[in-house]
Structure 1
Amino acid sequence: MYFKSKKMNSKIALVILNYNGEKLFPVFLPSVIEHSTNDFTEIIIADNASTDNSIDYLKSNYPTIRRIELTQNHGFAEGYNQALDILKLEKQFDYYILLNSDVEVTQNWLNPILEIFEHDTEKNISAIQPKIRMHAHKHLFEHAGAAGGMIDYLGYPFCRGRIFDTLEEDKGQYNNQIPIFWATGAAMAIRAEVYHNLGGLDKDFFAHMEEIDLCWRIHHTGKNIVYCPKSTVFHLGGGTLNPMSERKTYLNFRNGLTLLLKNLPSKNLFFKIYFRMLLDGLAGIKFLLDGKPKFTLAIIKAHFYMYANLSSILAKRKDNQKKFGNLKLPSIVYSKSIVWQYFAKKNKTFDKLEN
């Protein structure tokens, strides 16, 4: 039985951004259709100018599903911006759900999310993330989001249920609804007005960590992001980009530095960036020792990107300062180094982290 909004007219746009994901549609789209077809949700496929047969497949097998066909591959960030800007003009959606094309959803997954939004009459909650477990090993939390995204003071993201490469089994230990720092772009629900008021995702990120940047801007407004344990989805991960590729390594290190430069408070900014770059250097050395020189090169390229684009990144920082005033570190940020906790202290699960 579907939850009925008090307003009776709240509407969700469930938008799946696709790029060459034809092979994923027969595996994942049926669950989305089965468990998301209702009177308050419209399923939309936004195609990032795929070069495979994605569009033909959709036309033949799901002709009634709405498509937004973009003219080029804008990447994750700008792809969503372009699609959601089109939906904004229609003025009919209260909430957006950004859903990866390699996510299987479950029965009744939308209801708890909508309930949180609708019961939050003061609109203090801007975004929500469901519980995310692995598609291949469904008892384990998944890398992208798990039971809610967190971040340490040096900008290293981690999750309840996943720190670096350690995935926890879901034993109900994270079945409490709590505020989190970031919601994954693999399955993020967000108020439409918030998305557009904040300018959407930063297109220069292209892909990876752009949702963390958006969530950080939400925190700058004083609003919250919460984890919804009553809603569960299963994520394949790496559906359109190899999770062990040099490209992903480059994007993660590049965007991590950009994230900090845009959002950290001015106090100790230089020290934190410098220390973060030192840790990046250690990661590069480890890649060399592991026989992965291409990954080391990816980190070097990420740093040179920052040098070459420092003025434009700092301009975005100034924009944030104009919009939000003095940038402050949200209290939810983990005050210790997750790198030190994990590698030196061997605290590899969330419950073992030192306060």
Structure 2
Amino acid sequence: MPDLTIIIPNFNGKSFLKECFNSLKNQNYPFEVIIIDNASTDGSADYISNNYPEFTLIRNNTNRGFAVAVNQGIKSTDTEYVFSMNNDVVLEMNCISNLIECLKKNSNYFAASSKMIQYHNKTKIDDAGDEYTILGYTQKVGNGKSTDLYQSAREIFSACAGAALYRRDIFDVIGLFDENFFAYMEDVDISYRAKIYGYKCIYCPKAVVYHVGSATTGSKYNRFKIRLAARNNVYVPYKNMPWPQLAFNFLFLIFGFLIKYLFFLKNGHGNDYITGLKEGLNSLNKIDKIEYKRERLNNYIYIEWLLIKNTVKNIFL
């Protein structure tokens, strides 16, 4: 019986599925596959059912979002590890076993993040681990830089759920992905939560994947994605920071949101970004804040140091 389940949410990704699924054949680690189809209208579900009967297919009647879909997959299995994978990701040979090897190095590791390379420009990195900043948004480390870089394993703030391995039993401790996020930043949120509980994430450079990017939403910058990400950028600090930490970081967060607004204003999406921020502020009553516990004080101090360090690196490197 495999101790790994690969979980692939899908929404209208039929054109990507064959290459994505074929890359699973290059893995030398046993696994089972669960695909959650979010009411695709492009024939994805029937294509999977007809051509890949060995995969477990869960069909949703509506598009319930990435977070719900991954949670459905996690709830449907009891394997020791779960691998969350976007439908527009192609795995390089032995990617899975390299992630397993990284995660096994320390029982305190919650997640292992792959080295994501741009599918359409395989000389450039897409993401070599996510770093959350005091400004309230995430830096995709290495984005656009040479694939020759980031060759060493290192601790990171968050593993990108587009191609990340998680230790299943830790979900039982910290909870699953927050379904209020729908999509975007849900992986940062759960990694943040894991850090509050004292767990860590690691970047695994030998686990290589190729990522098309924005396959579901259609483009890097679009109204839906910008609005949703802006809303979720409000949720993350509100949910995970206790009130004293939130007060300390407040001006930095406001400054960070202003920088993002000016960026999107220049690109013609200023109103979409503001709409997302307003939606986040107006719906905070839906978000359950993580309960502050005194015994986790050192974890909060460590997280604050990481936020400051990541911000400085983002500015000067």
Alignment of structure 1 residues 101-140 onto 2, 5 Å:
101-120=87-106, 123-140=107-124
Q: Is the 8 A contact 1:12 1:41 kept in 2?
A: yes
1:273 corresponds in structure 2 to: 250
Question: Which residue of structure 1 lines up, in the alignment, with residue 306 of structure 2?
Answer: 333
Q: 1:323 and 1:100 mapped to 2: Cα distance?
A: 37
Q: Which residue of 2 aligns with 1:185?
A: 161
Whether 1:283 and 2:260 are equivalent positions in the alignment is yes
How far apart in 1 are the matches of 2:245 and 2:104? 39
Instruction: Say if 2:42 is the partner of 1:52.
Output: yes
The alignment status of 1:232 with 2:232, answered yes or no, reads no
Give the match for residue 135 of structure 2.
154
Aligned mate of 2:16, from 21, 24, 29: 24
8 Å CA contact 2:242, 2:292 repeated in 1? no
- 1:212 maps to 188
Q: Structure 1 281/308 Cα, relative in aligned 2: closer, same or farther at 3 Å? A: same
In 2, the alpha carbon distance for the partners of 1:304 and 1:44 equals: 36
Q: Could you tell me whether the CA contact under 8 Å between 1:148 and 1:182 is conserved in 2?
A: yes
Query: Once superposed, what is the RMSD of the aligned Cα atoms?
Result: 2.4
1:73 deviates by: 1.6
Whole-Å Cα distance in 1 between the matches of residues 196 and 93 of structure 2? 34
Q: Say which SS state the counterpart of residue 150 (structure 1) adopts.
A: strand
Deviations 1:260-282 (A, max 9, x none): 11112433523533442344234
Secondary structure at 2:235 match in 1: helix
Query: 5+ unaligned residues in a row in structure 1: which ranges?
Result: 1-8
1:4 corresponding residue in structure 2: none
TM-fit CA distance, 1:154: 2.3
Partner residue, 1:36 = 27
Describe the superposition over 1:143-193 as per-residue Cα deviations: whole angstroms up to 9, x where unpaired: xxx22111222222113312xxxx10111x311111110000101100111
Measure, in 2, the Cα distance between the counterparts of 1:323 and 1:217.
Answer: 15
Q: Provide the rounded CA distance (Å) in 2 between the counterparts of 1:192 and 1:74.
A: 22
1:259 corresponds to which residue? 236
CA distance in 1, matches of 2:280, 2:31: 40
The answer (yes or no) to whether the contact 1:262–1:320 under 8 Å persists in 2 is no
Counterpart of 1:247 in structure 2 is 224
* Structure 2 stretches lacking a partner, 5+ long: none
Deviations 1:9-30 (A, max 9, x none): 6610011111111111123221
Task: Look up the SS of the partner of 1:30 in the other structure.
Answer: helix
**Structure 1's 75 and 153: CA in aligned 2 closer, same or farther, altered over 3 A?**
same
User: What letter is aligned with 1:63?
Assistant: P
Structure 2 counterpart SS, 1:57: helix
Report whether the alignment pairs 1:308 with 2:282: yes
CA 1:323/1:68 → structure 2, altered by over 3 Å: closer, same or farther?
A: farther
Shift of the alpha carbon at 1:135? 0.6
Asked if 2 retains the 8 angstrom alpha-carbon contact of 1:35 and 1:106, the reply is yes
Distance 1:324 1:204, change over 3 A: farther
CA separation of 1:238 and 1:339: change in aligned 2, threshold 3 A: farther
Across the two proteins, how many residue pairs are aligned to each other? 314
Match of 1:320? 291
* Percent of paired sites with the same residue: 27
Cα distance in 1, alignment partners of residues 262 and 129 from structure 2: 30
* SS of 1:306 mapped into structure 2: helix
- The residue number in structure 1 matching 2:62 is 72
What do residues 232-255 of structure 1 show as CA deviations (whole Å, max 9, x unaligned)?
A: 111110110132101111111111
| Counterpart contact for 1:125–1:225, Cα < 8 Å | yes
